A and B are shown apart, each in its own frame.
Chain A
Amino acid sequence: MSTTTPRDLARPASAKASPAKPRRGLRGSSTFNFWLFTGPFLIGLAIFVYAPILWSLWLSFFEARFTVTPDKFIGFDNYTYMLTNDDFVGSLGTFTVFAAFIVPTTWALSLGLALLVNRMRFMRAFFRSVFFLPTAVSYVAASLIWKMSIFSGVRFGLMNTVLGWFGIDNIAWLIDPNPPWYWLVIVTARLWLQAGFFMILFIAALQNIPDELYEAAAIDGAKPGWQTFRYITLPQLRATSTAVILLLLIAAYQAFDEFYNLLSKTTWGRPPLVELYYKALGESQDYGAGSAGALILTVLICAVTLLQGKIMGFGRGDESK
């Protein structure tokens, strides 16, 4: 925030103040002003967020292929179809595996980087920039680098070149789901892209831990290092950790870009959004089933968010993107 004092602040307050309404003496009614400020946003929210959700709810009860104004009511058939559809249920499984990989690794890596950078006395801005820089890169660009160069399944791929130095044969990272090496590709790409952002959140939180806690611990004989980390740093980071895990979970639910680009021609390894994309906007254009799937997903996300909030004592959810 700028420190310059506005010209108005310097004026004697008594000069023009109207004594009748000292505190709420603004022109125009509050109600009118409230709608003046929030109105444009709320109208947009109603049209582009609430209306699609309601329309989607409506569509999900109809047979809606190739049309958005269907007339054949089919009740919960779309829901039972999606819940018994192997591809959709499998995509929920894909998400679960993905979250099990990406949430703990990002949490640990971003916390580790924050601890490292936070202890530096020289060059901390430089290292912070290096770790933060990938945040500027898109998932699409990262997918290109990962697929075409680092994890290219041929001899000139960087990973296969490095493995070759140790006499290990080429690995087809993305083409062959047995063994599922594609997880390594997907998880490292996202780790690289998002660890720096969460590192910043941890750095901010680390700097808010009062020094007195460490001093008191030192007096009580706690050894610096693991003991102070375990009994002071980690508990003090609890709120931030909870927020980070929640943001990571929601971001994982929304995974689309790298799965779509890295595994575009495969039928395996599809998370829910990619599956819905093909279901609703692919050849069958099945808006009814797609909407039902989207709503199932929404309910799941809300349930997980609330559950996690209950477990970790965190009231509300946000999304980071």
Chain B
Amino acid sequence: MPDVQKTAPPADKPRRVRRGGGVMSSTGLYIATGVAAFLFLIPFYIIVRNALSTDAEITGENWKIFPTDLQWGNISELFTDETVPFAQSLWNSTVVATLHTVGVLLVCSLAGYGLARIPYKHANKVFYAVLGTLMVPTAVTFVPSFVLVSSLGWVDTYRGLIIPGLFSGFTCFLFRQYFLGFPKELEEAARMDGLGYWGAYWRVVVPNSLNFFAAMATITFINGWNAFLWPLVIGQDPSSWTVQVALSSYMTNQVVVFHMIFMATAVSILPLVFVFLFLQRWLVQGIAQTGIKG
């Protein structure tokens, strides 16, 4: 695994020279990219179109590009529908994804810092024990984890949804890589002032790493919000469903109400799309910085 590059260029740095050009003209380039972008946007358009249509228009013979009347009432219908507790699941997802993000950042950043910076003779062994868990994809351990969590009585609880997912070897590894590249001079200055590791971490290291924390927070929140297998296993009672499990229930239900399904999908995606567009720059840089590259 290559190390993190602390001088990684921003992903949108303008090109100085034209590379590998010649085969494709500028017009061709924009046409090809435009077609690809159009295809990538179709699913988003479908969600919005169907979410604001009547069932008759979604399933009609003639595919219309825009619905004749925008059905804004579909939004309130989604939240008053009795068959799927959608509002409750949105709330559950909000709580779970938020606490998941806070917990993962706290626990994994501390561990990553300890592994990167604090001299200890067995630190390497500990690091390999953490790396070893990356070889065992978390999803593969879901059977024994479920057994453990159910024997703790945590099925259908926030604890069961949140706590087992906090200990991400991968996030810890990314933080370690990042802290290895953190300028030592700042910490040494803090030491001169007599701060311990703990004080230096909170008062110097964290405040100077907010960009990286923000990127990791975004990625962690998206993963928490979109998680499906674990919430499906743990959320057995509909009152503890997350929004992904609620969405999935539309696919297995006998009754299919199309406009509700698509409105639910739109509502489940909307918060993330906003987060995404706002934090895009951080996110792109964060991914480029995480060390998953050559």
A interface list, Cβ under 8 A from B: 1-2, 4, 6, 8-9, 11, 13, 15-17, 24-28, 30-31, 33-38, 40-42, 44-45, 47-53, 55-56, 59, 68, 113, 115-121, 124-125, 127-150, 154-156, 158, 161, 192, 196-197, 200-201, 203-205, 207-209, 211, 214-215, 223-226, 228-229, 232-233, 236-240, 242-243, 247, 250, 253-254, 256-257, 260-261, 264-265, 273, 276-277, 280-281, 287, 290-291, 294, 297-298, 301-302, 305, 315-321
Contact = CB atoms under 8 A, between A and B. Distances in A.
Interface string B186-215: 100111111111101100100111111000
B137 A250 contact: yes
What DSSP secondary structure best describes chain A's contact surface?
Answer: helix
Contacts of B164: 48
Contacts of B18: 119, 224
A201 B20 contact: no
B287 A140 contact: no
A42 B126 contact: yes
B102 interface: no
Contacts of B226: 137-140
29 contacts: A4-B208, A8-B189, A8-B192, A13-B192, A33-B197, A38-B115, A68-B151, A119-B15, A119-B24, A128-B11, A134-B43, A135-B222, A140-B248, A141-B247, A144-B261, A144-B265, A149-B46, A200-B287, A201-B292, A208-B294, A215-B17, A223-B22, A239-B2, A247-B292, A253-B137, A260-B232, A287-B147, A317-B134, A318-B170
A225 B9 CA distance: 24
Nearest to B210: A2
B196 A28 contact: yes
A200 B241 CA distance: 33
Given A116-B33, A138-B244, A229 B136 contact: no
B294 A129 contact: no
A315 B261 CA distance: 44
A66 to B, nearest CB: 12
B158 interface: no
A2 B123 CA distance: 29
A249 B109 CA distance: 27
A119 B19 contact: yes
Contacts of A53: 136, 141, 144
